[in-house]
Amino acid sequence: MQTVKYFGTDGIRGTYGTYPMTENFMTRLGYAVGTVLGHEADAINEQPIVMIGRDTRQSGPALQEALTRGLTATGVIVWDLGILPTPGVAFLTRTHQASAGAVISASHNPAKQNGIKFFSSEGTKLSLEQELEIEAILEATTLEDIAPMDESKVFDRIDLQADYLSDLLSSQRGLRLNGKRILVDCSNGAAYRLAPRVLEVLGAEVLPINTLSEGNMINVNAGSERARSNPAELAAIMKEKGADLAVAFDGDADRVIFLDELGRLIDGDHILAILADDLHAKDLLLADTLVTTVMANGALKKYAESQGFKLKTTPVGDKYVTEALQQTQNDTGDFDKFGLGGEQSGHIILLDKTHQTGDGLRTMVFVLAVVMNSKEQSLVMLADQIQKYPQLVASCDVAQKIPLNEIKALGARFETLGEDLPGLVEMNSRYSGTENKYRLMLETDTRHTAEDLGRIAWEICDLVQAETGTLAGSKIEVLNVADGGLIPRLKYIKQVKRS
């Protein structure tokens, strides 16, 4: 089976100015995409149209201009949507029947990085076959082969953002948030205008933070990932401003995290449980099944069993969750119910006829509707129904991705893991699909603490970094998934020797 060179599980990403995240590459990529779309359009005698949106990164305009040059050189019409959340681009691409959509964003990654992802005319991610064809044309094309941008083919369509806003507001008709003071952390990213606007129109008193659009502050001490790693910080702001709830998005707003009335972290596992329970009770849950990844907390499976709906797991990545939901939708032929799935990160998919990707703003509206329709109108009461098991996710930079099954020391350590963690319930060891990072998930029963897991995680990350030739002192983060917050380096017995 052929594999792609540039496309990861969530598009193409990298540090701006370093290949492949350069204007040269982006122009050739645009030319390749336009060529493939041209072939497909010729078959049905249509003019290809590509919608482009971006987040607030400083490198966004330059990369968009380069991409646009490549696209117009093949005759593609480009609609510029401006700064817009990733799911907004996917929605508009489908509803306005464009040939494809493109988003220039690196999501929750640091501001110096950027990336690009594409959507098909159906608002879904491109197929492997399309990605392979695009890469083949890209590799065979030089910058000199591509004509300058044809500005006559570029149109400002920021006006279409109103359609996305209207769709969000109509997703839960009758919802009113009057009397609720809601803190919204926009991560200085793509949702910096739309998220506060949605809440404002719904009647909430909105307390917005991190709404800069200059581009060098996106995700800097802000947003959903910051809330997961340091929920106490956002809880303190929430208390200072007298907010009832807090909502935090990532840089491109396809993820969302909440803090409840007590300032506690409400992550993707909680959100999935709350939404699945509500949809199940209304007979609106597709195939009566919730889809999540192998990283989900075991308490979610236990909760599904207790409430009478099914739980299906996929490999890590929203791509696989979406594919499973789409397959279920096609198998059942039921397009009137919601396919629900997602990840702990807050990437939640509410799949129906017109929505095929994760959307943080849409998820926010759905969750708030459940809260307001509940007897106590309390997120605390809803979240308390799922009691998480001790679980953490560790992440560390690596210099190279040596196949994990070839790292003998890692395999040997895993063989003895049961001695240190007899209550081990689940483990997942893998490399990131978009970054040079190793990730480890550990989950145990309640006989262990987060600190017990943290010691093991730090040890294994040290081992992996040593075995992959990674510079000592390179970044390691150990996240307490169950309760939020980072676990600091703790002493462990087995020390890693570096050659």
Catalytic residue positions, numbered = 107
208 upstream amide cis, omega within 30 of 0: no
- CA pair distance 272, 295, nearest whole angstrom: 13
Pairing assessment for the beta strands 113-120 and 12-15 based on DSSP bridges? antiparallel
Strand order in the sheet with 154-156: 12-15, 113-120, 100-104, 49-54, 77-83, 154-156
With b meaning 16 or more CB within 10 Å and e meaning fewer, what string describes 174-188? ebebeebebbbbbbb
Which residues neighbour 219 within 8 Å (Cβ) at sequence distance 6 or greater? 108, 109, 110, 111, 187, 188, 189, 225, 226, 250, 251
User: 29: phi > 0 → left, psi -120 to 50 → alpha, else beta; which?
Assistant: alpha
- CA pair distance 324, 347, nearest whole angstrom: 15
3-class secondary structure, 115: strand
445 φ/ψ angles, rounded to the nearest 5 degrees: -80, -175
> Where would I find the H helices in 45-79?
60-72
What is the maximal distance between C-alpha atoms in the chain? 68
Pairing assessment for the beta strands 310-314 and 285-293 based on DSSP bridges? parallel
- CA pair distance 453, 319, nearest whole angstrom: 28
Which residues neighbour 416 within 8 Å (Cβ) at sequence distance 6 or greater? none
Rg of the chain taking only CA atoms, in angstroms: 23
> Where would I find the H helices in 107-193?
128-139, 161-170
